[in-house]
Amino acid sequence: MEIRSCFIVLILIQCSFHAFAATASRDSVTDAELQTLSEALLAADINNCANLVTVNQQGSTSFHSHRDNAPLPLLTVQSTAYSKPTIEKLLPLHNNYVARVSDAEVVTTQETQEETAFLDAIMPTSVMKKAEKFLVDKGFITTRRRLSNGSYRNNNRAFRDAIHQIWFGLYSRENNTLGSSGFEHVFLGEIKNEKVQGFHNWVFFSKEEQNNNLNYKGKIGPNVSLGDKGMIVKHKFDWNSKEKPISSMFVGTSPEFEIALYSVCFYTRPGSRCPVKLNGKNVSVATHYLYRQGKRYVGSAFPDI
Ligand SMILES: *[C@@H]1O[C@H](CO)[C@@H](O)[C@H](O)[C@H]1NC(C)=O
Ligand SMILES: *[C@@H]1O[C@H](CO)[C@@H](O)[C@H](O)[C@H]1NC(C)=O
Ligand SMILES: *[C@@H]1O[C@H](CO)[C@@H](O)[C@H](O)[C@H]1NC(C)=O
Ligand SMILES: *[C@@H]1O[C@H](CO)[C@@H](O)[C@H](O)[C@H]1NC(C)=O
């Protein structure tokens, strides 16, 4: 008995040591490397739509004010933006989720196909390839798979599988209900305790303004210009009459740019400030993560201006 339990403890120590060794640490990536990479991601954002989006920030507001200081919508989007190859594949995902975190997500075959089509569209893009190379080179993504006979094989799907898991894997925020995912939280929005959470994507924001489900109530603080690649805004809004007192998002960037940038920050600066550089400006990206059944998922990700 004693020897047996000792043996199990040894295995546990060895396993956790392996898990630790397989995870590159934040020290392996410098702030300067993150700044260089983020500028390269923005420069490579070929599905960027900034020239097709007009931003009308209007009046200022604050976290505590409930006044609506912006009678008009924030975003006016030319319809061609929605037919950019990756945005076209993003739109069908918008009705795949129930906003309440206490309601379980039901995933149909069609929804799984839509998710696959979106990943098929974004994974080969230059921004995702750059993020992949960076995370593989730095040891955050392991492409070597050990076979049962002890030799190794290259796993070309390692990055795609990781992206699929951290963004689309369902997890619970409440009552053990599988009602959330990183993608739903960031690229759509969620309702928890009658409050809006997440909601950091301009495409969904614009669609919900057009559907009269969203009332933009004003800007908070200065915007950050990304030159001809768009901007970062901070603001307040009501979604289906529930308030998000403060929020921020990129405007005009492609979904793959946001997934690439957030994923790099998720791996290299998990749960903390990720210092990137965009259009020559120092910008912080914030990511939050959750552990569920030994796996790490995106809890949230947004530009923290
Ligand atoms: C962003 O901020 C700058 C500087 O305050 C301002 O000139 C510009 O009009 C703002 N952009 C928008 C779209 O409101
Ligand atoms: C191990 O298995 C793989 C796949 O079955 C095979 O290609 C490889 O040659 C094997 N390696 C050894 C050392 O037997
Ligand atoms: C969570 O579970 C508790 C206990 O079963 C229940 O009282 C509560 O209403 C649930 N919350 C939600 C949001 O469903
Ligand atoms: C941007 O960040 C770098 C490195 O962290 C720093 O050296 C530089 O002074 C910062 N620039 C500005 C304008 O804050």
Residue 102 Cα to ligand 3 middle (Å): 8
Task: Return the ligand number nearest the Cα of 56.
Answer: 1
Nearest to 126 by CA among 232, 48, 186, 228: 48
65-67-70-71 Cα dihedral, nearest 10 degrees: 170
Tell which one of 98, 100, 101, 102 to mutate to probe ligand 3, the residue whose CB is within 8 A of the most ligand atoms: 102
b/e per residue 178-196 (b: at least 16 CB within 10 A):
bbbbbbbbbbbbbbbeeeb
Position in ligand 1 atom list of the atom nearest CA 225: 1
Q: How confident is the model at residue 6 (pLDDT cuts 50, 70, 90)?
A: very low
70-118 confidence digits (pLDDT tens): 999 999 999 999 999 999 999 999 999 999 999 999 999 999 999 999 9
**What ranges in the chain are assigned the alpha helix state H?**
2-22, 31-43, 85-90, 109-122, 126-137, 158-163, 182-187, 202-210, 255-268
Pocket of ligand 3 contains residue 175 by CB under 6 Å? yes
Residue nearest to atom 3 of ligand 4 (CA): 282
Q: What is the dihedral of CA 133, 139, 140, 142, to 10 degrees?
A: 80
Distance CA 159, CA 163 (A): 6
pTM above 0.85, yes or no: yes
Catalytic center residues: 185, 200, 244
End-to-end CA distance of the chain: 57
The response to whether residue 102 sits with its C-beta less than 6 Å from ligand 3 reads: yes
The confidence band for 66, taking pLDDT boundaries of 50, 70 and 90, is confident
Distances (CA, A) of 175 to 64, 100, 101, 171, 267: 30, 12, 9, 11, 27
Summarised one tens digit per residue, pLDDT across range 138-160 is 999 999 989 999 999 999 999 99
pLDDT digits (tens, 9 = 90+) for 265-302: 999 999 999 999 999 999 999 999 999 989 999 999 99
- In percent, the amount of the chain with pLDDT more than 90 equals 89
